[in-house]
Structure 1
Amino acid sequence: MQYLRGLAACAVVCFHVSEQFGGPFNVGAAGVDVFFVISGFIMWVTTAGRPADPWRFMSRRITRIVPLYWIVTLLTATGILLKPQFFYDHFLSVANFVGSLFFLPVLQDDALHPIVIQGWTLCYEMMFYLVFTLVLFVGERWRFVVLVGALVAIVALHFVLPAGYAHAFTDPVVIEFAAGVVVGRLWLQGARLSLGAALAVSGAGLLLLAAGTPFDADLPRALLWGLPAALIVAGAAFAERVRPFKPTALPTFLGDASYSIYLWHVAVGVLATGVVLRIGIPAALQPATILVATLALSAMLYLIVEKPLIGLLHPQGPKGAAKASNAAAAGAAARPAKALF
């Protein structure tokens, strides 16, 4: 899970840099779908079989997600005010600024459009956390059925509701959280695949992504990228259970830094682009230079901003999503993830 989080964040950065230069890497946006499936998996695994504490669950999710998001939103809004020409497709208004802070940004073409444009995903994350919090009040015997049923019902409403916030928040992408929950339940129940079968499942997901149609295809995102993402996550979880491995430093660090990389990369990419153009980097080298600079600076901001925030707000907090992954390999219940997206 830790490695996948890092890869997913890097894929989204690659997508945005490719888009900036008219490149073909639309499939990089599927990193978001991998995040959604992982979120469902981790939330289920870290709460099942434990005393339910809905208020603590929600408070920890808020303190984990919101402070950094607010910082990036404030700095992005400042950047838009100072250099609006550098922030293409961003929309700044008082209403959108306030709405973005509370995960109710303006709608454009029936889609959520916060100040931090990639923050639309956090709107769905927070909705999922809210649903999950409410389900924690249900007895554990019925919790899985109620949670998956609620997420399916939310998606079903999308097809009958008129355009507006309700229609936007019931987008079929919500079903990707349910897919992660299902994988997490199977994992906790001791389901097993051989190493070859698990790798084949992940490989099938990767092949489906590689063979996918462009972003504006007629297929719903939940099928186009959500299904492959679920296969990739499921295969990875069961493969690690069969063949545990010792984590290596760089992929583990990228997993830790994935939330910062995801949140900072657009604003940092604007800065990197400005520097690259100013110093006259040859056009052929600009995409790679901007990509490397964006990843490096965003990861650095994890160390400078996010990690101290975690230490301040979660002084006795869990040790990180890597422990969840290691616990999976051992066949034990995973510990709560420190830096879950």
Structure 2
Amino acid sequence: MTSIHSIQYLRGLAACAVVCFHVSEQFGGPFNVGAAGVDVFFVISGFIMWVTTAGKPADPWRFMRRRITRIVPLYWIVTLLTAAGILIKPQFFYGHFFSVANFVGSLFFLPVLQEGAPHPIVIQGWTLCYEMMFYVVFTLALFLGERWRFGVLVGALVAVVALHFVLPAGYARAFTDPVVLEFAAGVVVGHLWLQGARLPLGVTLAMVGVGFLLLAASPLFDAGMARALYWGLPATLIVAGAVFAERARPFKPASLPSFLGDASYSIYLWHVVVGVLATGVVLRAGLPAVLQPATILVVTLAFSAALYLVVEKPLNGLLHPQRAKGAVKASKAAAAGGRGMMSQN
């Protein structure tokens, strides 16, 4: 299937927004809305998983195997290095929690819970706990005939969230958080996209604009409201508006945002531990306080993206050699005026 470049753009934007959020938080800044990049990722994940499997022979075990080999190895590497950092310099890893139980649990996406939410060694890895739960549900749905798959999958995700309001505190309740609905929203958008739905360009751009406006205004009404509403709904509007805008008016991708999309997983996973190192270097260099946040942000983004080239890309080539060969062929086709293949989360 052809590439959806707007998805790549949004992946890169979401990863950069999360980095901005953490740097802002470090200096007491006001950019809490940057954390909504996670919600954009969740909607994108639902979209991509549906679009890349619909209309193809179902192979649940292959799907789960590919998801594990795509997500787990790099996550384990970052978890090991973060754990080492916590043990060596715990004062540099504020908010992190190390214990043997949490380390082992983090590796298998069942970390300790703090205030009812997953709190793994790699603190931003809480999102991967929900990703893996979604992959389990998706894998089970792949055992069904395609006629039933969409309705059962969306219904199952809604049912999971319904359990949140009746289950006692613990892992079961933590993994039924309403944020799970964001995956379902992405699946619905992907289903409509595959059905060939079209919207006028003006409508799609308005959806994106309204989505960003709602994110900007979210601090005004997020008190007491579920995250799936005050960030998930805008994230869904942004993703849906972007993919249907591209369908209405295709465009030639630019190199930098496409690269950031490719590197988004590395940026997301590496940025906290890289940010700790960057903070140490910047503070030791004695830069004026006013320059420190921007410098740390730029250094963190640059090095986290570089680690995509140094670690993640070779690792994926080793674990998915056929996919790597396909990417090379797609790249050559794109250079000749063709279209590449969609990148997966």
TM-score (norm 1): 0.94
The question of whether the paired residues in 2 share the 8 Å contact of 1:15 and 1:25 is answered with yes
The answer for the alignment partner of 2:282 in structure 1 is: 276
2:107 pairs with 101, 104, 107, which one? 101
Q: What residue ranges of structure 2 are gaps of 5+ in the alignment?
A: 1-6
Shift of 1:213: 1.4
Query: Secondary structure, in 3 states, of the residue corresponding to 2:52?
Result: helix
In structure 2, C-alpha distance between the alignment counterparts of 1:283 and 1:62, rounded to whole Å: 42
Q: Which residue of structure 2 lines up, in the alignment, with residue 147 of structure 1? A: 153
Check whether the contact 2:8–2:343 (CA below 8 A) recurs between aligned residues: no
Q: Indicate yes or no: 2:67 matched with 1:61.
A: yes
1:165 Cα deviation from its structure 2 partner: 0.3
Q: Is the 8 A contact 2:222 2:230 kept in 1?
A: no
2:321 is aligned to 315
2:151 partner letter: V
Map 1:116-155 to 2 at 5 A.
116-155=122-161
Aligned residue number for residue 194 of structure 1: 200
Q: How many angstroms apart in 1 are the aligned matches of 2:139 and 2:222?
A: 34
Paired residues of 1:27 and 1:214 also in contact (CA < 8 A): no
2:3 corresponds in structure 1 to none
Task: Trace 1:5-84 onto structure 2 (pairs within 5 A).
Answer: 5-84=11-90
* Structure 2 partner of 1:176: 182
Kept after mapping to 1: 8 A contact 2:51/2:190 = yes
Q: CA deviation at 1:4?
A: 0.2
Alignment-mate amino acid for residue 29 of structure 2: G
Q: Distance in 2 between matches of 1:337 and 1:104?
A: 27
Per-residue deviation, 1:217:
2.3
2:247 pairs with 1:229:
no
2:117 aligned partner:
111
1:158 aligns to what? 164
Q: Identify the residue that residue 213 of structure 2 maps to in structure 1.
A: 207
Among all aligned residue pairs of Structure 1 and Structure 2, give the percentage whose two residues are the same amino acid: 82
Q: What does the per-residue CA deviation read over 1:156-215, in whole Å, with 9 as the maximum and x for residues that have no partner?
A: 000001110001000000000000000000000011001111111111111100111179
Is 1:90 aligned to 2:119, yes or no?
no
Tell me the residue number matched to 1:266: 272
Q: CA RMSD in A?
A: 1.7
Contact 2:64 2:136 in 1 (8 A): yes
Q: How far is 1:218 from its partner?
A: 1.4
Find the counterpart in structure 2 of residue 285 from structure 1: 291
CA contact (8 A) 1:6 1:252 kept: yes
Contact 1:72 1:263 in 2 (8 A): yes
- Residue 248 (structure 2) aligns with: 242
Residue 231 of structure 2 aligns to a residue whose secondary structure is helix
| 8 Å contact from structure 1 (residues 96, 106) kept in 2 | yes
Aligned counterparts of 1:175 and 1:294: Cα–Cα separation in 2:
31
Q: What is the identity, as a one-letter code, of the residue corresponding to 1:144?
A: F
The secondary structure found in structure 1 opposite 2:310 is helix
Give distance in 2, aligned partners of 1:236 and 1:201. Answer: 8
Q: Tell me: CA distance 1:272–1:116, structure 2 relative to 1, closer, same or farther (3 Å).
A: same
- TM-score by structure 2 length? 0.93
Q: 1:335 to 1:178 in 2, by over 3 A?
A: farther
- Residues 14, 291 of structure 1: 8 Å contact kept: yes
**Structure 1 residues not aligned, in runs of 5+:** none
Distance 2:220 2:323 in 1: 41
